Structure 1
Amino acid sequence: MRHDRPVGELLRAWRHARGLSQLDLALQAGVSARHVSFVETGRTIPSSAMVLHLAEHLGVPLRERNRLLTAAGHAPVFRERPLQDPDLAGARAVLGQVLRAHEPYPALVVDRRWNVVLANAGLEVFLEGVDAALLGPPLNMMRLGLHPGGLAPRLLNLAQVRAFLLPRLARQAARAGDPELHALHEELQAYGGAGREGEREMPVPDPADVALPIRIRHRGAELSLITTVTTFGAAFDLTLDEIAVELYYPADEATARHFRPVPRAATL
């Protein structure tokens, strides 16, 4: 979605992306359809409050709300800072505590484009045999998982993982209107994933599933993991709104034992 257009055109594009008519949006936002029409055609320049009000009902991401405000001649209101900013020290400390507490199992923090910004020592399980060119920076978890030079050769349920991740990435790209996410989706789709023997019996993931099953080979063992993703939705802060914490859990006892350190024999 281009962002060098007037605010009315941008709002119309977001409305179309959400499959709403002007009347639908007007009813949801509690304004007149005529006012929505006037804003979209440029006959009315909306106030910053109206821009944010319409954007809220359109589910526009915070980053794009800033662009809408700028297009309407207003100052952006959502701050963007690197995670290393001193003002985010408290948030970093909490994230670090979450990652450390999850060891020995893998845990990581990714940005809106699935680039790793923080990780614990468990991330090593995904890096075995990976092409050095994929290790970043930035290390992109979507690319790492599905690239032929990444984790894909060790995935025992590659087709299942692709069937879960690619539609999700497509939905995320559509919601965000981010051309880089669209490009990443097209890149990952092009890699293909014919699947391996035995994968035909694996169920196709339900879009409503909250956890992704992952079966991989690691150091001669076959591991079974599930992963969940948590987001914060922090209002008024782009950085915290756009990051996600991805936690991996053992799906069976054999995998849990694989991660546990071997106890040392007692010495006298």
Structure 2
Amino acid sequence: MSLADPPAIVPQPFGAQLRHWRQHRRLSQQGLAGEADISTRHLSFVETGRALPSREMVLRLAQRLDVPLRERNALLVAAGYAPMYRERPLADPALAPAREAIALILRAHEPNPALAVDRHWNLVAGNRMLAHLLAGADAGLMQGPVNVLRLSLHPRGLAGRIVNLGQWREHLFERLHQQVRATGDTVLSDLLAELQAYPVPEGAHDTRLGGEHLGVALPLQLRAPDGRVLSFISTTTVFGTAVDVTVQELALETFFPLDGPTGEALRQLAAAGEAPGPSPA
């Protein structure tokens, strides 16, 4: 190895990874052992490397800890077994049914804007109404892969159009923080730090929740190019029975109108045709 070569990354042993996920889920050894129907002593031996788990035990522990499929594969490999869950690019011919399902769901939500993102919030696909939602964002942020969180909160993105930016920022930060806690993904952690460092426009610091929707859903209030304020609530859809890593990590975000004027504005935009927008990654 030359001096210019980066040091090799040595995977953590199974016991260390298991302990990480147990502590990540705030479980004691006794608590996890009880849920997995094994002895606390044996679990302790597995975590310290004094005992090797069976493949069935690896999968059982991963299920009890609600470990994502990507990380379940890592646990299996660390324990000396082959990965169980396949990870293929979404463009893989074998995932054509998944792509068709995504396209069908996104189209079905029109005239409401809807999009699909990967585990790092990069845009995978969007329906024809998405471009209207993203109108006015800097072209440089529209180059693939388009990260929708960066696009939303960047000063040259949608930040200047979001009326309740302070609230929306905190909402997105909390969602991202929950993902970091659940997955331990350093890319998401770095993204969160980047977003939190963005300058906040004057008057956008108030994060107090108010209005009739308090305790039900936080609206996204977006100022349209013609000056109208459009109010949305968002929902997230995932594939609940996915056995492919890529598919499990996809999320579909849909923005529904929160009032009559917003619904009417969306219908007018749909009738006017598709606005230019970003291409999926």
What's 1:80 paired with?
Answer: 87
CA distance in 2, matches of 1:127, 1:185: 21
Residues 170 and 207 of structure 2 are in contact (CA less than 8 Å); yes or no, is this contact kept in structure 1? Answer: no
Residues 1:216 and 2:222 are matched in the alignment = yes
Q: Relative to 1, partners in 2 of residues 1:71 and 1:197: Cα closer, same or farther, differing over 3 Å?
A: closer
Residue of 110, 118, 135 corresponding to 1:128: 135
CA distance in 2, matches of 1:7, 1:208: 42
Residues 1:167 and 2:174 are matched in the alignment = yes
Structure with the greater relative contact order (CA < 8 A, sep ≥ 6): 1 or 2? 2
Residues 145 and 151 of structure 1 are in contact (CA less than 8 Å); yes or no, is this contact kept in structure 2? Answer: yes
Alpha-carbon distance, 1:217 to partner: 1.1
CA distance in 1, matches of 2:58, 2:199: 41
Alpha-carbon distance, 1:197 to partner: 7.1
Q: Relative to 1, partners in 2 of residues 1:133 and 1:3: Cα closer, same or farther, differing over 3 Å?
A: farther
Mark the runs of 5 or more structure 2 residues left unpaired by the alignment: 1-8, 273-281
Mark the runs of 5 or more structure 1 residues left unpaired by the alignment: none
Residues 1:92 and 2:99 are matched in the alignment = yes
Residues 1:4 and 2:7 are matched in the alignment = no
Residues 224 and 252 of structure 1 are in contact (CA less than 8 Å); yes or no, is this contact kept in structure 2? Answer: yes
Q: Normalising to structure 1: TM-score of the pair?
A: 0.90
Alpha-carbon distance, 1:202 to partner: 3.9
| Per-residue Cα deviation, 1:89-145 (whole angstroms, up to 9, x for no partner) | 122112111111211221111111111101011111232221222113111111111
1:33-112 matches, within 5 Å, as 33-112=40-119
SS in 2 for 1:191: coil
Counterpart of 1:184 in structure 2: which amino acid? L
SS in 1 for 2:20: helix
Counterpart of 2:80 in structure 1: which amino acid? G
Alpha-carbon distance, 1:181 to partner: 0.4
1:140-159 matches, within 5 Å, as 140-159=147-166
Coordinate RMSD, CA, aligned: 2.4
Sequence identity percentage: 49
Q: Relative to 1, partners in 2 of residues 1:195 and 1:256: Cα closer, same or farther, differing over 3 Å?
A: farther
Counterpart of 2:41 in structure 1: which amino acid? R
Residues 1:191 and 2:198 are matched in the alignment = yes
Residue of 239, 243, 248 corresponding to 2:250: 243
Q: Relative to 1, partners in 2 of residues 1:163 and 1:198: Cα closer, same or farther, differing over 3 Å?
A: closer
CA distance in 2, matches of 1:203, 1:26: 44
| Per-residue Cα deviation, 1:182-231 (whole angstroms, up to 9, x for no partner) | 00111111115366379566439x9985x441111112121111111111
Q: Relative to 1, partners in 2 of residues 1:137 and 1:198: Cα closer, same or farther, differing over 3 Å?
A: closer
Q: Normalising to structure 2: TM-score of the pair?
A: 0.86
CA distance in 2, matches of 1:208, 1:20: 29
Counterpart of 1:219 in structure 2: which amino acid? P
What's 2:183 paired with?
Answer: 176
Counterpart of 1:218 in structure 2: which amino acid? A
Q: Relative to 1, partners in 2 of residues 1:62 and 1:44: Cα closer, same or farther, differing over 3 Å?
A: same
CA distance in 2, matches of 1:94, 1:153: 34
Counterpart of 1:14 in structure 2: which amino acid? W
CA distance in 1, matches of 2:181, 2:10: 15
What's 1:119 paired with?
Answer: 126
Residues 1:253 and 2:260 are matched in the alignment = yes
CA distance in 1, matches of 2:183, 2:96: 27
CA distance in 1, matches of 2:87, 2:200: 37
CA distance in 2, matches of 1:146, 1:87: 35
Residues 157 and 195 of structure 1 are in contact (CA less than 8 Å); yes or no, is this contact kept in structure 2? Answer: no
